[in-house]
Chains A and B, each alone.
Chain A
Amino acid sequence: MLAYAVRRLLFAIPTLLVISFIIFLILDLAPSDPTANLPLTIPQDVRQQIRLSLGLGEPMHVRYLKWLYQFAVNEPMHALEQLTGHHFSATPRVRVLSWQTRSPVVDLILQRLPQTLWVVGLSYVVGILIAIPIGIVSAVRQYSWFDQIGTFVSMVGYSVPTFFTGLLMIMLFSVHLGWLPSIYDTNLRVTDVASFWAQVKQMIMPVMVLALFNAAQISRYMRASMLENLTQDYVRTARAKGMREWVVVMVHVLRNSLIPVVTVIALGVPQIFGGAIITEQIFRVNGLGQLLITGIQGADIPLVQTLTFLFAALIVLFNLIADLLYGMLDPRIRYD
């Protein structure tokens, strides 16, 4: 297992290099201009000078290698220097700088991470907590009214876009009832009960909107997986041994049914870091998703390149984790 993991990790390096180059190519070939958002009153020669000052005058491969060096060498070295307080070289390291904000991209990402993890991460957890019981009951009582309603709700949750449910909730809870804030306050620090309550209030709507969407997806997987296992021979054996239905379902069937669901859940984790672009925009959570979309709108190539690359790295990593988890949970699967 360890040898397998190491082999996969080593193989990930060339994969990621190729991915980073492809991302760079796509961004470079796309028609985008960092000065496009400037007022029209700014003349073309000034725009040209701005582009040059951003390094756009250099050939493509030089820009790619510069980014790669800044990201793969300077950023980790900078982090190490910050941690240890020891400076390896006297000259300050050139970090990956965002064009829009002229501040280091990695700092921006770290600034955005908490709210994304809180809101999107929590919605994932809530989604799983809702989905698994629904999936179990729906499968055990297949075609009952509970199953029908569950199927209906998950179809609605899956097919109605979050910008609709989000707006609906804002209209209801913020505009008409006035219970919840429609704008997420990223400055809020939880220090006492009152601020904790404020944090809960501002998280309820975005978390629920996303949780509904996540739950819809996972509950379907859970139901299908349970149904598949319920007809297996070992279930009949368990029942024949005289086990109570509760034990049969919750111990035997559930554990086996969870194997593919855990994989699906692990594969979905990178999406948490990707943020939820639309939901973050609606509630102004201003997490990683909003960072990415403002970067794209402003043609902030270093920011978009770095963020997209990090997402790619997370996807590669969680694919590996899912594979390893699968091997650990299912004794029938061996990688060595």
Chain B
Amino acid sequence: MRLRHILTGASAAALMASAAHAERGADGQVNVLYYQAISIMTPYLSSGTKDIDGAALVLEPFARFDPDGHLVPYIAQEIPTLENGGISEDLKSITWKIKPDILWSDGTPVTAADAIFSWKYCTDPEGGCAQAPYYDDVTDVEAIDDKTVKVTFSVPKPYPYTAFVGAQSPIIQAKQFADCLGANAPSCTEANTMPIGTGPFRVTDFKANDVVTLEANPNYRDPAKPAFATLVLKGGGDAASAARAVLETGEFDYAWNAQVEPEILAQMAAAGKGEIISAFGTLLERLHVNQTDPAPALGEERSTVKHPHPFLTDPDVTKALSLAIDREILVETGYGEAGRPTCNLVPAPEYQNSPNNDWCLKQDLDQANKLLDDAGWAMGADGVRAKDGQRLSILYQTSVNSVRQAAQALIKQWWNEIGVEVELRQIDPAVFFGGDPGSPDTLQKFYADVEMYADNFEGTDAERYLGQWVCGEIPSPETAWQGGNTSRFCDPAYDAARAEMSTTTGDEDRAKMTIRLNDMIVNSAAIIPLIHRGRVSTKSKTLGGVEMNAFDSELWNVADWYRIK
């Protein structure tokens, strides 16, 4: 009897607690820490993920991705599809309907004109918009009526959810940015730092690269949200101390990107004030295997398709190299909660993660040795395999980064064990990723046999990402070393299948297509997938409602956050 009383009391208290959440601003302040401080509050002029996340508190797109990679309408009433008539039969246009009651934080209604303006703003050639690819192939954005926007494409788009979808291409207010088009974009300091948005918060004070102070948007569409009256987005410092501020001292409620050695992070979490949260998007740490010959003797023709690689075009050699790697150990030493082994190029979302390639998950040195023996690579007296006078010797490059360098050292050791000679090389990240055609050290020039880095794609549709692997995307002197096909993979069957994908509609069929293309690449000689990398952040145990998301901004559902009392 007494127990029942206690239980009813407890559940009543729980009910009251949840009732208390049902009021805007009831939970006071939430403190969020980004160790890379926010520089600007618009993704269109941003210099990195942190700005995109910061802007996501204020600016919203028509639809966002949820943690499973599915679309959720934000400014839009519903997700347009072929079935509900939102996408035209010829796949060349998509029509979005704006929620009727949605207001900007200054109290004025959101109209089709704002969406049209956002498109013009980002596609102005003088503006230097960082998110221009989101508006690729868009020929026109027009208003059917005040609340209906039609986006027209130049080509059929089986996947039209690019413009105005996700944290990177939100709607900005036409009135506020009217004078900020083109070359004027950078000088609109006020609009760029304190944008008027439809999101749960609005900026009250902006200190660039330091701290952003926000308050609940009085015109937010859900009168009960957000639960927090103010949000402080502090920046600066490093990843380890940011995690400490949540896990050990409890000064902050949420800290972004806990890129800390797994052991240290676990030690901090043991203090009991907070927890580590992670989500896995499409980021993949991989080894690209050069299909062309990078020998310096070839001069201008190094790493071009004119000279195939002397031994790395053999899928068995690549397979042996892949089998020699113990991915579990790489995860344990370098990534912890932030990584898991994978053999796929497209590791997420779950519905398009190929189930067919598990052979690489377990290290198998015997099998690796056997593959090389069978291929005719005989072990030499110095412990290095050779065939027809060609030694199995590899130059392995990556960017300067402690985790990558540790992985490099481990992989070198494993490869040495199967008779492969390895020379390591590290390049400054700004140069390696810089893409400067004048530098010999870019990842696109690939003057090495294998190179390691991480890459991903935004959103959930892999079409463009897989499009990087077609023959036409191979970087070469003729294309000023531009192009995403760094491995120089070229297979006409793949190109044909990839072309087929651009006419495939429907989520399910596209997922099948993605898996098919993924399998073609990962079973070729061109790539060794290593680690599926996730986002790792830390949150206080008193912060509720957090749903870590790897397909959109991490702060995508900040309106639902509340204080656990």
Q: Residues of A with Cβ closer than 8 Å to B?
A: 31-47, 49-54, 94, 97-104, 108, 111-112, 170, 174-175, 178, 181-183, 185-187, 280-282, 284-286, 290-291, 294, 298-299
Contact = CB atoms under 8 A, between A and B. Distances in A.
Nearest to A285: B236
Contact of B245 (A36, A47, A182): A182
Interface string B446-457: 000000011111
A36 B456 contact: no
Contacts of A284: 234-237, 241
Judged by DSSP, the binding face of B is loop
Contacts of B238: 281
Contacts of A175: 244, 248-249, 271
Interface stretch (B97-105, B375-383, B426-434): B426-434
Given A47-B435, A183-B251, A101 B40 contact: yes
Most interface-central of A102, A108, A282 (chain B CB within 10 A): A102
B109 interface: no
B193 A103 contact: yes
B522 interface: no
Contacts of A99: 47
Contacts of B251: 174, 181-183
A46 B193 contact: no
Nearest to A112: B210
Nearest to B442: A44
Nearest to B484: A43
Given A36-B430, A101-B39, A187-B213, A53 B235 contact: no
B237 A36 contact: no
Interface string B180-196: 00010111110011000
Given A33-B434, A49-B128, A102-B186, A186 B211 contact: yes
B450 to A, nearest CB: 18
A42 B131 CA distance: 7
8 contacts: A38-B48, A42-B131, A102-B192, A174-B251, A185-B234, A186-B211, A282-B241, A290-B236
Contact of A186 (B126, B133, B207, B271): B207
Contacts of B308: none
Given A41-B458, A281-B238, A187 B205 contact: yes
A99 B48 CA distance: 13
A183 B47 CA distance: 25
Contacts of B453: 40
Contacts of B211: 186-187, 286
B210 A286 contact: yes
Nearest to A41: B458
Contacts of B207: 111, 186-187, 286
Given A53-B183, A182-B249, A286-B209, A100 B47 contact: yes
Interface in B244-286: 244-245, 248-249, 251-252, 271
A49 B430 contact: no
B37 A286 contact: yes
The 10 closest A-B pairs by CB, nearest first: A53-B128, A101-B208, A284-B236, A286-B210, A102-B186, A50-B128, A103-B189, A100-B39, A33-B434, A36-B430
Nearest to B271: A175
Interface of B: 33, 37, 39-40, 45-49, 125-133, 183, 185-189, 192-193, 205, 207-211, 213, 232, 234-238, 241, 244-245, 248-249, 251-252, 271, 428-431, 433-436, 439, 453-458, 482, 484
Nearest to A280: B236
Contact of A98 (B208, B235, B458): B208
Contacts of A52: 128
A294 B249 CA distance: 25
B148 to A, nearest CB: 29
B187 A102 contact: yes
Given A170-B241, A175-B244, A97 B186 contact: yes
B346 to A, nearest CB: 14
A281 B238 CA distance: 7
Given A34-B47, A53-B183, A102-B189, A186 B210 contact: yes
A200 to B, nearest CB: 17
A308 B208 CA distance: 19
Given A38-B48, A46-B133, A187-B205, 10 more contacts: A31-B430, A39-B456, A39-B458, A41-B458, A97-B186, A102-B189, A183-B237, A185-B234, A187-B207, A290-B209
Contact of A53 (B46, B48, B127, B439): B127
A118 to B, nearest CB: 14
A190 B517 CA distance: 61
Given A37-B48, A40-B456, A53 B186 contact: yes
Contacts of A108: 208-209
B37 A294 contact: yes
A31 B241 contact: no
A117 to B, nearest CB: 15
Nearest to B212: A187
Nearest to A39: B49
A284 B127 CA distance: 33
Contacts of A286: 37, 207, 209-211, 235-236
Contacts of B131: 42
B48 A39 contact: yes
A185 B46 CA distance: 24
A94 B186 CA distance: 11
A36 B210 contact: no
Contacts of A100: 39-40, 47, 208-209
Contacts of B133: 41-43, 46
A290 B192 CA distance: 22
Contacts of B458: 39, 41
Contact of B430 (A32, A50, A51, A174): A32
B245 A183 contact: yes
A32 B47 CA distance: 14
B244 A182 contact: yes
Contacts of A35: 47, 130
Given A182-B244, A286-B37, A299-B430, A103 B208 contact: yes
Contacts of A97: 186-187
Contacts of A49: 125, 128-129, 132
Most interface-central of A46, A185, A284, A298 (chain B CB within 10 A): A284
Given A38-B48, A187-B232, A291-B209, A102 B130 contact: no
A42 to B, nearest CB: 6
A118 B436 CA distance: 42
A251 to B, nearest CB: 47
Given A33-B436, A42-B133, A102-B45, A183 B234 contact: yes
Most interface-central of B39, B127, B211, B236 (chain A CB within 10 A): B236
Contacts of B129: 46, 49
